[in-house]
Structures are given as structure tokens and as C-alpha cells.
Structure 1
């Protein structure tokens, strides 16, 4: 008899959610995890960065308090306390996940799993990171001796992703860190170069600029956050420039050398040399599958290491499923969680499949960015005749009282039926406001339905309704477009 009905390999936001759901469905569940539960999201990604960004936000708010008639003297920050607060939040949440797994009778096995067959793995003691003490242990290969073998009727691969490495001369020099390695910094660098203007790089740039770093961000595409709508990326670039961040788009880092500082050679549109105390590589992530022994189990992966799956998360091998970043569908924690729920339900015999139609994404820069659905460029490329509607935060009463008037919402809708195809926001609380856009797309709502829905006043949430009115040619709180 197998040790478990289901074995989940990886305890991140996909893996632990899948394990809990499967246990609730009556399965005997084991979970193999080589560090604290919660995976990259809770330990090295979503949660710790947002905790530090919140500290930066409060610092920024207090330094501007005089604008609100509030006076604070000698405002300063203590980066050590910022890090301590982050660590406390991470520990509280990871301990909470461990408690939830125990409460649902999930057996947690510490170590690194490697397939010996499609439904059995050897578990090795995990190595330790050479990046910095206490760092993520995926950075080192497992030890050579297996501690035990585990079997199951079904297996879910949920091992997530690791920071991508750049083939740049000097990328291995001291002072060059990945997004995960940045958590090892014990102080705010005076001069920081961020390679990559996507969500990861942009968030770190925003954070350290708020704390006083002289930040330069280098992005090879024409705009920052290139996966977002071009208007949003351009707006973020203007906002960053206004804050004193040097934005070098259509540019690449060609080499890094060590002189008295780190000498960064930039090529492309803004070719130059930069001196930095720290260089942060934030160019994306790659699947964490190299040490799993996929070939032993016959599990297919593409040339980058991502594992193809169907809409019920099945891999090429019967009884083996994959969820989260390793599938390459959308490297987002909330997608991993939904994939985990779907896979667990399928394995337990319940009809389920995942729908990728409306996947919201958020970037926690200042101002925030959030989006769901098609960008304008992708909608036009797909052959849609479009209505594009915009409404600025500056025209919202609540945004005025809040003191956050930067940014806008942009809605992409079909011309014939006025159905919502995409929603793109840059501005205060964008990550919270995007939920209405996700619901609109999921429910096939139209501009008319958004406009006819009564929204509370005064709120930031009114911006979706106001944009819908603008898209219908009936704007109330902005001038009409000239015909």
C-alpha cells in the first residue's frame, strides 16, 4: 500500500493549498518541503517585499505630512527595524501555514524530493544557500544520501521558481544580488542599479528610492513593466523620473566590473557607465525543476524546464500533476493557489478545471499598478474593434481627500457589444480596485452594466463606473471628448 493517496512536492501557495484541499476531500496527504512552509511567496517574495514596501510608504507619508496640516520633526527610518518587522510577519504567516497543515492532518516531510518513479520519490536532506546565511535553500543541491523513500497514488509537483541568472560578465561579483538575495542587505545602498523594469525590479527600485537610494533602473523594452498596457508603463516611467529614479528603457546591461565600486556598462539607447554599491538583478524567474529527476519519471518539460499541463493540471505522465510557477502559465501566487485547488479536486474525483480568462496581476510600486484581461495592443492584434475609456484619479473626490491623485484607470471594451476585455490601473489602491475588473471579465459584463451599478461615494472604487461612463461617451466628472 502506498504511503499516501497524494504526495505534494513543494509547500508554497500552490502546494500547501492543494494539500489542505485534498485532505479536506478525505485523502491521506503528504507534503515534502525543504524550508519553511509558504514557499517563495511567504518567505522571499510577495509577503516580505510588501511588508518592507509598507514601511517605505509610511515613511513617505510622514515626510509629506505637512501637506495635510500635520507636522512631524526629525522623521527618520531604522532599516534594521524594517527588516525585523518583515521577519516577524513572515514567521507569523509561515507558522500559521504549518498549523493549518497540521490541523488538516497533512504529514509534512522536510527535505528535497527526487523522483525514482512517477509515484515515488527519495527525500534528501536539503543543502544550505551559498548566497547569504539563512538564505533560500533551493540555491544548493541536496545532500547525496536519501533519508527515506515515499510512495503515493498521485503526485503534485509544486516546486515553484528561482531567480533567473543573466549571462553578463561580472554577474557573479560580490554586491550583485538577485531579488531574493536583496533580503540579505543590512543597509540601504547609496547607489543602486536595478537590472529589469518588470514587476520585481520596479518594486525594489521604488522601495529603495523611497529610503533615499540613488536608483537607476535598466529595462531592455521600450517601457517599464512591459507586460502591462503601454500607457501604464509610460506613466510609471514618468512617475519614477519625477521621484528622482533614473529610468533607462531600450537599454541593456552589457557588463559589470569591480573598481572602487561596481562599474556597470549600459548599452542600447542610453549607453553609459554607472557606478553602484549594489546591483540588483530583477529580470524574472525560471522553473525550479533541475534537481527533481523529471527524466527518471518520464515527465516532459520544455527547453526552459517548464512542465506542460492540461486544464486539469495533468502532466504527460499518468498520476503526476503540476501546479504553480513550474507550469509557466502565469507566475503568480494566486494562480498557483487556484491550480492547487483544481488539481486536488480532480485527484479526489470532483469535476474541476481551471479558467485563465481573468487573471489579475498587481505591482506594488508607488503608484501601484494592477491589470486584468487584454492590453490595448493585444486586443487590437486579436482583431477587436475597440472602445478605450480612461478616467484620472485626479477627478475623484476621494483621491483628492486622500492626497493620491496620480494615475488613471483604462478600460478596453469591444465596440459592438461594449463587453469589458481588459482593465488597467495605475494609482492608489490599484491592487484592491482590480477585483471589480476581474469580476467584470469573468461575468462578461459590459460598460453599460458597470455604469449602471451604483458605487459608493466618495470612494476610489467609483473610478470604474466613471471610466465606463466615459467609454459610453457620457462622462460626468471629466469633459467630454471633442468630436
Structure 2
């Protein structure tokens, strides 16, 4: 008899959610994790960066307190205190996840799992190696490490996540060149930072360092920042960054990093040259954590990049083996991993459940925030759709004025014939919260009329969805009327 009904490899936002849901279905569940529960998201990604970005936002508000009629002295940043607050939040949440696993009778096994067959693994101790970047979260066990126990299960879920990709240029291994995870090891704010990659990770770190006083330059190979977003959003973020003194070099690449005091970053593109930096932060993509996992022994297929191939039920091509989260290479977002975990656990328990990626919101916690769901304008037009596009600025909202944050806008992409909402894109205050209405609209296949006719509370930031819909319908109330020919 197998040791468990289900064995989950990895305790991140996909793995621990899958384990809990499976246990709720009455299955006996084991979970193998090398570090604290919560994975990269809780320990080295989503939560700690947002905690520090909140500190940066608080610093900015205090600097601007006079705009609200509040008199303060000149604020300073205690970076050690910022880091301690972050650590306290992370520990509290990780302890909470561990408690939830216990409460649901999930057996947690510490160590590195290596598959010895489709539904059997050996667990290797990770010893006292340091936690986090370079430690057991990513590193394979040392050569010669022996298994402490063997475990079998009826079904296995692979949820081992991903790690930052390395920059394939000369000098990428120099001291001072770090990944987004390694940035948490900095004990002070660098004076000069070059960030390689202007997607969500790079843009968030650019925001954080710049708010705390660093001179920051972002180098992005695509024509716009946050290239996965609508082009108008990327252009707006670039304008915002430049207004804050952040250097933005798009359509540019880093070809080398040279040894010097400080480092010198060689940039190729429209504005080629050398940029001096105390720290170079690489935020250019992620790769799956499949090293030394034994996928070849189990017969699990991966694509050319190493991501595990799955169907919409999260099944691999090996019976009784599932995969979820970043290791699948789909939408590499924590909330997607969690939803995939629920789907996998339900399927393992015998339910007919499928993953649908059409309505997946994304959020980037820059200042201003960015969020989106559905098709952007370029994608809709490329698909041959006849679309109506409308925007409404935050400056047109009374709440935004009182909030002291008027930068940004909402952009809605809708079908022209029936007004069906195809995509919602936001840059501005609380964008990450506002996008939920857009996600619900797409899920319910709502139209512009339905969004416009929904009564929104006033004065709120949420009114922007109604206002943008009215603009799209040619019936704006708090915006200039459409031009007539």
C-alpha cells in the first residue's frame, strides 16, 4: 500500500493549497518542502517585496505630508527596520501556512524530493545549508547525500516552482550582480542601481530603490516597460518613472558587466554606453526548478525550456503524475499556481475540474500600480476583432483627488458589435484591487452597458470602471463628449 493518497512536491502557493484541498476531500496527504512553507511567493517574492514597497510608499507619503496640511520634519529611512518589518510579516504568514497544513492533517516532510518512479520518491536531507537564494530552496542536495526515507503515493503533484534566470553575458557572476531574490540580502540601499529587465519584477525593485533615494536605471530589451501589458500602460509607466528620476532604456540590452569600482554596465541600443552601478539587479525571467528532481526517471515530459507539460486538468503525460505552478511555465503567478492546485486536487479526488486561463488578472506593484485582465488592444486587433477602446483618467475622480493620487487611467477593450468586455487595463492608485471588477466582468461575459448601469459608490476609485464604460458607449458624464464630424 502507498504511504499517501497524494504526495505534493513543494510547499509554495500551489503546493500547499493543493495539499489542503486534497485533505479536505478526505485524502491522506504528504507534502515535501525544503524550506519554510509558502515557497518563493511568501518567502522571497510577492509578500516581502510588497511589504518593502509599502514602506517605500509610507516614506513618500510622509515626504508629501505638507500637501495634506500635515507638518512633519524631514523623514529618513531606517532600512534595517524596513527589513525587520518584512521579516516579521513573512514569518507570521509562513507560520500561518504551517498551522493550516497541520489543521488539515497534512503530513509535512522536510527535505529534497527526488522521483524514483512515477509515484515514488526518495527524500534527501538538506542539512543546515542557509535558507533562500543559494540555499536549499534552489540548490540540489550535495553530491553523495543519501536518502533518509522513501515515500510512495497513489498520485503525485509536482509543485517545485521556479528560480530567477541567469544573465548570459560576461561579468554576470561578478560581486554586486544579484537576482531579485538576492536583493533581500542587501543591508543598505545602494547609491546606484542598474536593473536588467523592465517586467513586473524589475519594475517593482526600480520603484522601491528609487523611492528610498537610489539612482536607478532600467534596461529593457522590448520597446516598452512591462511588455506583457498593453502598450499604453508600458508607455505611461515609462513616463512616470522618468518624472521620478528613474532612467528608462527600452529596446536595449546589456552586453557585458565590467569589473570596476563601481561596476560598469555595457548597454547596447538607441542610447548605447556605459553606466556605473554599485549593484546590478537581474530581473530577466525565470527557469523551472526541475534540477535533480528525477523527472527523467519518472518519464515526465518537459518542453525545450525545461517546463513540465500538462493538460487543462494539470495532468502530465504520465498517469497519476500532475504538475502545477511555475514549473508548468503557464501564467507564472502565485494566484494561478493556487488555482491550478485546487484543480489538481479536485481531479485527484475524482471531480471533473479544468483550468481556464482566459480570465487571469495580473498586478504589478509599482508606484503607480498596474493591473490587467483579458486581451490588450494589440492582441484583440491581431485576432481580427472589431473593437472599441476607451480610457478614463484617475484625475477625473473626486476620490482620486482627495486621495492625492491622480496619475494614470483605466483602459477598456470591448467588442464593437455587442459591447462585450474583452480586456481591462489599469495604471494608477489601487489598480490591483480595482482589477477584480474587470475579472468578474470577463468571467460573467458582461457588456459595456451592464458595467455602465451598475451603480458604483461615490466617491470611490472604483467608479473608474463605470466612467470608462460610459466613455466607450459615447455617453461620458465626467469627461469631454466625443468629437462629432
TM-score, normalised on structure 1? 0.98
* Distance in 1 of aligned mates of 2:379 and 2:290: 31
Give the corresponding residue for 2:368: 367
Note the alpha carbon deviations across 1:29-61, whole angstroms, 9 max, x for none. 000000000000000000000000000000000
Give 1:129 shift. Answer: 6.3
Instruction: Give me the whole-angstrom Cα distance separating, in 1, the residues matched to 2:352 and 2:106.
Output: 23
8 Å contact 1:387–1:413 — kept in the other structure? yes
Partner of 1:281: 282
Identify if the C-alpha distance between structure 1 residues 137 and 362 changes in structure 2 by more than 3 Å, giving closer, same or farther.
same
Given that residues 51 and 86 in structure 1 are in contact (C-alpha distance below 8 angstroms), is that contact kept between their aligned partners in structure 2?
A: yes
Partner of 2:10: 10
Match status 1:264 vs 2:265: yes
Q: Per-residue deviation at 1:134?
A: 7.5
Q: CA deviation at 1:136?
A: 4.5
> Partner residue of 1:237?
238
Q: 1:413 and 1:8 mapped to 2: Cα distance?
A: 41
Please state whether the residue corresponding to 1:149 is helix, strand or coil. Answer: strand
Distance 1:134 1:437 in 2: 36
Q: Provide Cα deviations, 1:279-338, integer angstroms capped at 9, x if missing partner.
A: 000011111112211000000000111111111100010000000011111000000000
Q: TM-score, normalised by structure 2?
A: 0.98
**TM-superposition CA deviations, 1:200-228 (whole Å, max 9, x none):** 00000000000000000000011100000
Q: Deviations over 1:320-371 (max 9, x none)?
A: 0000011111000000000000100110112211111100000000000000
Q: Which residue matches 2:322?
A: 321
The residue aligned with 1:140 is 139
Counterparts of 2:93 and 2:227 in 1: how far apart (Å)?
A: 31
**Paired residues for 1:46-85 under 5 Å:** 46-85=46-85
User: Could you tell me how far apart the structure 2 residues matched to 1:138 and 1:337 are?
Assistant: 19
Alignment of 1:13-412 (within 5 A): 13-126=13-126, 136-143=135-142, 144-412=145-413
Cα distance in 2 for partners of 1:253, 1:71 equals: 44
Contact 2:140 2:291 in 1 (8 A): no
Say which SS state the counterpart of residue 217 (structure 2) adopts: strand
User: SS of 1:53's equivalent?
Assistant: helix
Supply the distance in 1 between the matched residues of 2:271 and 2:374 (Cα, whole angstroms): 32
Residues 234-287 of structure 1 show CA distances to partners (whole Å, capped at 9, x for unaligned) of: 000000000000000010000001111111000011211011000000011111
When structure 1 is superposed on structure 2, of 294-303 and 345-354 the one drifting more is 345-354
The question of whether the paired residues in 1 share the 8 Å contact of 2:138 and 2:289 is answered with no
Q: Aligned pair in 2 of structure 1 residues 217, 128: CA closer, same or farther (>3 Å)?
A: farther
- Distance across 2 between alignment mates of 1:422 and 1:179: 30
SS of equivalent residue, structure 2 residue 419? coil
Deviations 1:390-412 (A, max 9, x none): 00000000000000000000000
CA contact (8 A) 1:290 1:305 kept: no
Q: 2:454 touches 2:466 (CA, 8 Å); kept in 1?
A: yes
Q: List runs of 5+ in structure 2 lacking aligned partners.
A: none
Contact 2:456–2:466 (CA under 8 A) maintained in structure 1? yes
3-state SS in 1 of match to 2:248: strand
Counterpart check, 1:454 vs 2:449 = no
Deviates more, 1:342-351 or 1:120-129: 120-129
Q: Which residue in 2 is equivalent to 1:417? A: 418
Contact kept, 8 Å, 2:224 with 2:231, in 1: the verdict is: yes
Q: Using the alignment, how far apart are the partners of 2:180 and 2:133 within structure 1?
A: 15
Task: State how far apart, in whole Å, the 1-side matches of 2:213 and 2:129 are.
Answer: 29
Check whether the contact 1:362–1:431 (CA below 8 A) recurs between aligned residues: yes
- Tell me the matched-pair count: 482
Deviation of 1:481 after TM superposition, in Å, equals 2.2
Mapped to 2, the partners of 1:347 and 1:139 lie a distance apart of 27
Distance 1:385 1:129, change over 3 A: farther
Take 2:190 and 2:482, find their aligned partners in 1: how far apart are those partners? 46
Q: Distance in 1 between matches of 2:384 and 2:198?
A: 29
Separation of aligned partners in 2, 1:193 and 1:289: 30
SS at match of 2:137: helix
Q: Is the 8 A contact 1:129 1:139 kept in 2?
A: no
RMSD: 1.1
| More moved, 344-353 vs 398-407 | 344-353
Secondary structure at 2:317 match in 1: coil
